[in-house]
Amino acid sequence: MYFIEMEKNINSRYMDIDIAKNLEAIKQELPEEVELVVISKTRSHEEIMEAYNTGHRIFGENKVQELTPKWEALPRDIEWHMVGHLQRNKVKYMAEFVSLIHAVDSLKLLREINKQAKKFDRVINCLLQMKIAQEESKYGITIDEIAAILNSEDYQNMKHVRVVGLMGMATFTEDQDQIKREFNSLHQAFNQLKDEHELRILSMGMSGDYPLAVACGSNMVRIGSSIFGPRQYQ
Ligand SMILES: *Cc1c(COP(=O)(O)O)cnc(C)c1O
């Protein structure tokens, strides 16, 4: 009895959330040139299909063990992005289908992506993650390391991987000035590198900070909880 009651509470919380409506409202609000990646981690197939049925096709996950089964089960015209930190030994599970990898932070990882993409005769687009947050827990590399990767002969000889932009995550804080400084530093790095290296995507902004990210020059936002509601875990 007790457990049944608990489950009912959780479900009714979700039933109050209109996924399609939330998604449409965010799309209305975003400038035309800003791409929306709907972050579907921890969400059920049914929840994802509610978003899909509005016509949306770009979804992102942060774990390979969730991404691959969803790719297998859901419609094939979904463009799947991998937005989370990626270990080299996991690349092989998504090389067949992933359309953009957001958080690449080493030449070694690019080498592995290149190797796995070759097996499927694909070119996988990637973003390099710059560390802009002060938190130790956040991943990413410096602008100098990014430039070194892009200028390396090793990268320039890779035929199955293309760096098409940069990605970053701001510090989790209420301090808007700090977030703004961090986004501006990423935008500046992007402007510095984009012409020489043909970068076109600047992925920054999540549910809590995407309006500020867009104001600071983002052209790709990654939004989960503002569409689906708060996550139960992660
Ligand atoms: C979970 C996640 C998001 C989305 O977070 P929300 O706060 O739910 O919008 C964006 N980017 C990455 C890398 C994530 O892991």
Is CATH 3.30.70.20 the right assignment for the domain spanning 17-228?
Answer: no
Q: Name, in order, each residue with C-beta under 8 angstroms of 161's C-beta and a sequence gap of 6 or more.
A: 110, 113, 114, 117, 123, 124, 126
Mutate to test the pocket of ligand 1, among 19, 30, 39 (most ligand atoms within 8 A of CB): 39
Question: Which of 100-132 are b and which e, b meaning 16 or more Cβ less than 10 Å from the residue's Cβ?
Answer: bbbbbbebebbbbbbbbbbeeebebbbbbbbbb
Q: How many CA atoms lie within 13 A of 187 on its CB side?
A: 18
Q: Pull the structure tokens for residue 80.
A: 């799947």
Q: Where are the domains of the chain?
A: 17-228
Q: Is the CB of 62 under 6 A from ligand 1?
A: yes
Q: Pull the structure tokens for residue 50.
A: 């509610």
Spell out where 72-190 has E strands.
Answer: 79-82, 100-104, 124-129, 161-167
Mutate to test the pocket of ligand 1, among 38, 62, 226 (most ligand atoms within 8 A of CB): 62
pLDDT digit string, tens, across residues 70-120: 999 999 999 999 999 999 999 999 999 999 999 999 999 999 999 999 999
C-alpha span between 141 and 127 (Å, rounded): 12
Q: Is the CB of 38 under 6 A from ligand 1?
A: no
Q: Three-state SS for 163?
A: strand
pTM: 0.93
Structure-token match 């139960």, residue found: 232
pLDDT digit string, tens, across residues 25-68: 999 999 999 999 999 999 999 999 999 999 999 999 999 999 99
